[in-house]
A and B are shown apart, each in its own frame.
Chain A
Amino acid sequence: MSSIGTGYDLSVTTFSPDGRVFQIEYAAKAVDNSGTVVGIKCKDGIVIVIEKLIASKMMLPGSNRRIHSVHRHSGMGVAGLAADGRQIVARAKSEAHNYENTYGEPIPIKELADRVASYVHLCTLYWWLRPFGSGVILGGYDRDGPQLYMVEPSGVSYRYFGAAIGKGRQAAKTEIEKLKLSEMTCRQGVIEVAKIIYGVHDEAKDKTFELEMSWVCDESNRQHQKVPEALLEEAKEAAKTALEEMDAD
């Protein structure tokens, strides 16, 4: 996938002769090398799950949150450079806040995705700024029901019913396509995505990982929150069992 962009890759304001902006592509590489982030839209809500690769055994479990609430009804999972992701989340929170102050209702997810995408895109237009080295999967529940969006470092944003970014995205996307998401509740979806993450995690290449999951669904009262402990444990158990069964073959 890599090509040498000698000379045309020094600035984000330079196009290559074949119409590519290499700096943006390099930014996307930062996302591709991070832990997998998966988001799915079930019939009653959204589930976001992250394979949080643990850099050091000294880190406290539960620290370095990668999924953040943006407002009551929405949250985003970030992949790529953590500090860049923090900025994107901060901007999203600010946009959501301003919208509600002005219009008196929670920001529609489509609008939120639009604004986040515009902001990320902004940072690809000037030579004195660098593109964000992170992509986000944004999920929320508004008047039009649950919605899932993904924003890439290029500033592109699409709506999905299943999305994955990071290391294991190819394998994860294949698995997601096998699921019948429109018939699944979030409760079932949580188990399925846990299995996917455990499945795509590369034991050989990567160290241990921590599973971080959140949802916005009817069961959570349309609020974005961490998946309850009990369900999280159940999902992990089911995923480990499924993995053992696969290994047994």
Chain B
Amino acid sequence: MDTLLSSEGDSQRTQYPYVTGTSVIGFKYKDGILMAADMGGSYGSTIRYKSVERLKQVGKHSLIGASGEISDFQEILKYLDELILHDNMWDDGNSLGPKEVHNYLTRVMYNRRNKFDPLWNSLIIGGVKNGHKYLGSVGMIGVHFEDDHVATGFGNHLARPILREEWRADLTFEEGVKLLEKCMRNLLYRDRSAVNKLQIAKITEEGLTVSQPYSLKTFWNFAAFENPTVGATGSW
């Protein structure tokens, strides 16, 4: 029963996230959209799951990346699956594009937030339909926007500045991947919930590919790390 003043029994106050995914980064490039996310699922401060796929296809034209509560993401994927199925069953030559999927998710997220029962995720939706590239973001409180490059969580603080400097609209696929890896490497160094196993997804007019999981090479041979205690007085 949905009443304005719900009773104690049926109302769910703000939840706590249990298994969470960290940042997702995405940007437009020459042929479409590129997105990257690592495969970690953290259980608080423990990195519990290391093969979580956080980039998924939605219908013919869209790609979704999620950070936040993984179970809520699975629920969102179920809603999207239903949405796409019903769209396909019309069989009218039309199909939902990234803009429509983004709008649908915004409605879902915002309405859940208004019931004090949010889906604890930050989502990035990207895709290409009829030559038109689209990239948008929506969070657990329903805040949504479109941009040429977006990120969730720590990605906003660590990756976006890099993208603001180095992103261009005419990036080739190879340049885009290098840029993504630069951002992901930065996140790997600085975000404690990052895991060195990532997937990169690209979506173009032709279709979507999600790469096989792989790891980034990291560099730790900084002089300050060679002899870490040399400058410390009274080290213990």
Contacts and interface: CB of A to CB of B under 8 A. Distances in A.
Interface of A: 65, 68-72, 93, 97, 101, 225-226
A68 to B, nearest CB: 7
A97 B88 contact: no
A71 B85 contact: yes
B232 interface: no
Contact of A65 (B78, B85, B88, B91): B91
B82 interface: yes
Contacts of B88: 69, 72
Most chain B C-beta atoms within 10 Å of own C-beta, residue among A65, A69, A226: A69
A69 B82 contact: no
Interface in B71-91: 78, 82, 85, 88-89, 91
Contacts of B82: 97
Contacts of A72: 85, 88
Prevailing SS type, chain B contact patch: helix
A139 to B, nearest CB: 15
Contacts of A226: 91
Contacts of A71: 85, 89
7 contacts: A65-B91, A68-B89, A69-B89, A70-B89, A72-B85, A101-B78, A225-B91
Q: How large is the interface on B (under 10, 10 to 19, 20 to 34, 35 or more residues)?
A: under 10
Contacts of B91: 65, 69, 225-226
A197 B82 CA distance: 35
B79 to A, nearest CB: 11
Nearest to A72: B85
Interface string B52-95: 00000000000000000000000000100010010011010000
Contacts of A225: 91
A65 B82 CA distance: 22
Nearest to A96: B85
Contacts of B89: 68-71, 93
A72 B91 CA distance: 11
A101 B82 CA distance: 10
Contacts of A70: 89
Interface string B148-175: 0000000000000000000000000000
Contacts of A69: 88-89, 91
A52 to B, nearest CB: 15
Nearest first, the 8 closest Cβ-Cβ pairs linking A and B are: A69-B89, A226-B91, A69-B91, A72-B85, A97-B82, A225-B91, A93-B89, A68-B89
B59 to A, nearest CB: 13
Nearest to B82: A97
A106 to B, nearest CB: 11
Contacts of B85: 71-72
A116 B82 CA distance: 21
A225 B89 CA distance: 9
Given A69-B88, A69-B89, A101-B78, 10 more contacts: A68-B89, A70-B89, A71-B85, A71-B89, A72-B85, A72-B88, A93-B89, A97-B82, A225-B91, A226-B91
Nearest to B89: A69
Interface string B182-220: 000000000000000000000000000000000000000
B77 to A, nearest CB: 13
A68 B88 CA distance: 11
Contacts of A97: 82
A70 B90 CA distance: 10
A93 B91 CA distance: 14
B82 to A, nearest CB: 7
A182 B88 CA distance: 30
A141 to B, nearest CB: 16
